[in-house]
Amino acid sequence: MIRLGVNIDHVATVRQARRALEPDPVAAAVLALLGGADGITVHLREDRRHIQERDLRLLRPIVTQRLNLELAAVDAILDIACEVRPHEATLVPERREELTTEGGLDVIAKETVVARAVEQLKKAGIEVAVFVDPDPRQIEAARLVGASAVEIQTARYSEARTATERQRELAALEQAAEFAHAQGLHIHMGHGLTYTNVQPIARIKGVEELNIGHSIVARAVLVGMERAVREMKEAIRRA
Ligand code: PXP
């Protein structure tokens, strides 16, 4: 069964909209786990627009399954990661003006920086994934810098406007997964997945983990976190 990592960043987005104390992403994490989440994912961004250091530190002892920290390969965040030691870290690109992570990390162009970050995280006992486009060159580069997993970005699939385009992007993801498997990498996927588009992705051979945020939090606002997670787990199971 594929693991579901529930990304709770946008619970913190609502809190930060008022610089208030609620809703607390830590409470959301507990409810997501009760709903069947296999892990919790948070992105501690340099600009701290949603998740705060306090959230990460509180989540660490509470999330006993898998806490996955998304982070940019920059010293200040890497130091926090190595101190808190989540089970898993996913290196992502970060641009201040973006609404959400746009595309995978260019591991080839940033090889030295990424390799150093992977080494530092691994030394702290953290499993390391790199968020990449469904591009064999980037997947191979992720292996070469020492990552044990790739999170292959599904944004182009999620944003496809026609059935033909969607099929093409799905085929690219299938081929990327096959390639990553042959490279001996663990395979995660995520970005833009929803209750209606998740099933073809959950059927791709070799995929071990899906990280889903916006769609689950959006539903949770209306039906509650526990139910929203249960419904996503069910959608994945039916695939
Ligand atoms: N995976 C990565 C690497 C991400 O940066 C994000 C967004 O924070 C997600 C998965 C989840 O994307 P979404 O919120 O669209 O489900």
pLDDT at residue 96 in the model: 64
Is 53 within the bounds of a domain?
A: yes
Is 239 within the bounds of a domain?
A: no
Is 121 within the bounds of a domain?
A: yes
Global pTM?
A: 0.97
pLDDT at residue 100 in the model: 67
* Residue 77 zone, left/alpha/beta (φ > 0; ψ -120 to 50; rest): alpha
pLDDT, one tens digit per residue, over 156-194 is 999 999 999 999 999 999 999 999 999 999 999 999 999
- Check: CB of residue 30 under 8 Å from CB of residue 4: no
Enzyme catalytic residues:
43, 70, 191
Amino acid at 209: E
Is 237 within the bounds of a domain?
A: no
Is 32 within the bounds of a domain?
A: yes
The whole-angstrom separation of Cα 138 and Cα 203 is: 23
pLDDT, one tens digit per residue, over 46-73 is 999 999 999 999 999 999 989 999 999 9
Is 47 within the bounds of a domain?
A: yes
Residues 6+ apart with CB under 8 A from 184: 143
Structure tokens at 107: 């591991």
Instruction: Give yes or no for residue 77 CB within 6 A of ligand 1.
Output: no
Nearest protein Cα to ligand 1, atom 3: 131
The whole-angstrom separation of Cα 230 and Cα 86 is: 24
Query: Which range marks the domain in which residue 157 is found?
Result: 3-232
DSSP3 helix / strand / coil % (the chain, rounded to 5):
50, 15, 35
CATH number of the domain to which 87 belongs: 3.20.20.70
Q: Could you tell me where the DSSP H helices lie in 153-202?
A: 155-158, 163-182, 198-202
Instruction: Give yes or no for residue 98 CB within 6 A of ligand 1.
Output: no
pLDDT, one tens digit per residue, over 100-110 is 667 899 999 99
Instruction: Look at the chain and report how many structural domains it folds into.
Output: 1
CA of 12 to the centre of ligand 1 (A): 14
